[in-house]
Structure 1
Amino acid sequence: MPPELPRQQFVLDTSLFITEEIREPEESLEEAVLRLLDRIATARLELNISCHMPPSIHDELVTMLRERDVSEEVFERLETWVVRKSPDRYGVNIPADIVYQFVDEMSDRVDRGLRVSEEALREVEQLDPDKLGSGEEYMTEADRVLSNLRDKYRQALRQGVLDSREDFDLLVLAKELDAGVVTEDRGIIAWADRFGLRYVRGGQFPTLLEEYLRATGVEG
């Protein structure tokens, strides 16, 4: 390993490991995750690149991987090569402007959610009340309206926004470590940009590590 390589750090999101973007053709999820963890291990040993994960994200990822019946080898390598670290929630300063932006965005999204609900209510009002007697057809239409309402409401309130403590833990830890964020989540990417953080799309991260290794003459 070349001497005194500058240390690079990344904070990894669950979506990195789950996205199909990291898979090669005909490759299973387990094979893709093991290959990714091998790259992370080599980058750590050879290039002083370390990868971190908040405990909340780690627990979420472990749950998802267990639901997909991956082998214990995956969890062993995850424990070995991805450092679990809680963010310093009291020590990391968040600019007031970012808080204002978050409040403004959530206020706007609540308004959007109300409009979606109003549209669904108006649509229900257009349904023929005479069909209530037969029941089946009316309920089918009502179910369709309800399903559309859920999809549109979820999109209005949650898509592209920080909607969980796990998301916020990821950003706070990255800011604390001055690390790059690795995720496929559009909401996290948008807020990483506002936090002034470096970020890499999850699907591009394996290639990034491979290019680092190739450029320094290390076999991946």
Structure 2
Amino acid sequence: MSIEAFKQRFVLDTSLFLTDEIRRDDESLEDAVLRLLELIANARLNLGISCYVPPTIHDELTTMLEARDVSEEVYSKLNTWVIRKHPDRYAVSIPANVVYSFVDEMSGRVDRGLRVSEKAVRRAEASADEPLEDHDHKTEVDAVISQLREKYRDAMRTGVLDSREDFDLLILARELEAGVVTEDRGIIDWTEDFGLRYIRGREFPALLEQYLTAVDPDSRRTIE
């Protein structure tokens, strides 16, 4: 089969790099990310497969990697082999039905968020502002507030397009006619509305490995 048949573009989500699903047994996060980046590099060198991230995703990813204290090698390979590109928000069109569905979805979520808040207020009114038995500094009201945050976040954000990063990912993929690589259930749901193909992050390393088996070992190029 011609190598031209494998040429594709993918737009990568932060969740691809951070999910435990890409790790092998006893493999650290850093080792898993380095192995993934090596696959991305080899796929680009040998098959012309290009992987992109919008700058907002790149910033989000590097911030999370910094918090996990990964080595400079990770950033070097990330910046070398994963292309940063701003989505063309002015040129890419979005079907009116997508916008309509989003507005309808958010309207329903606002109603659910209000109901969650109302229940929390009633619980707080009935709660004593005394420390909990198993916590010296947390009162019953504090516990209600904590539960409110969790339930409100679930009502308002789970499964919905709720950040610039998610939006940029989808717009860039639509612009490039690229596949979306993510573990985020909400983004996966939106790929259907945007008419995009997607692959779960956990499946992406195996996909690249399978593609690379088509390369003649004698002519295969590596980054090592």
TM-score by length of 2: 0.90
What 5-or-longer segments of structure 1 have no aligned partner?
Answer: none
SS of aligned partner of 2:93: coil
CA displacement, residues 185-220 of structure 1 (integer Å, 9 cap, x when unaligned) = 111111111111001111111111112222555679
The equivalent residue for 1:163 is 162
What 5-or-longer segments of structure 2 have no aligned partner?
Answer: none
Q: How many residues align?
A: 215
Any runs of at least 4 consecutive aligned residues in structure 1 with deviations exceeding 4 A, and if so which?
215-220
Separation in structure 2 between the aligned mates of residue 86 and residue 207 of structure 1, nearest angstrom: 28
Q: Deviation of residue 140 (structure 1)?
A: 2.4
The equivalent residue for 2:184 is 185
TM-score by length of 1: 0.92
Separation in structure 2 between the aligned mates of residue 137 and residue 206 of structure 1, nearest angstrom: 47
Separation in structure 1 between the aligned mates of residue 172 and residue 78 of structure 2, nearest angstrom: 18
Separation in structure 2 between the aligned mates of residue 26 and residue 136 of structure 1, nearest angstrom: 41
CA displacement, residues 46-104 of structure 1 (integer Å, 9 cap, x when unaligned) = 11111000011111111111111111111111111101110000000001110001111
- Residues 100, 63 of structure 1: CA spacing in aligned structure 2 closer, same or farther, 3 A cutoff? same
The equivalent residue for 1:136 is 131
SS of aligned partner of 1:197: coil
Q: Deviation of residue 119 (structure 1)?
A: 1.2
The equivalent residue for 1:197 is 196
Separation in structure 2 between the aligned mates of residue 47 and residue 89 of structure 1, nearest angstrom: 29
After TM superposition, list the pairs within 5 Å mapping 1:87-102 onto structure 2: 87-102=87-102
Q: Is the 8 Å Cα contact of residues 5 and 48 (structure 1) preserved in structure 2?
A: no
- Residues 72, 176 of structure 1: CA spacing in aligned structure 2 closer, same or farther, 3 A cutoff? same
SS of aligned partner of 2:10: strand
Question: Could you tell me the percent identity over the aligned residues?
Answer: 66
Q: CA RMSD in A?
A: 1.9
Q: Which amino acid aligns with 1:200?
A: I
Q: Which amino acid aligns with 2:99?
A: V
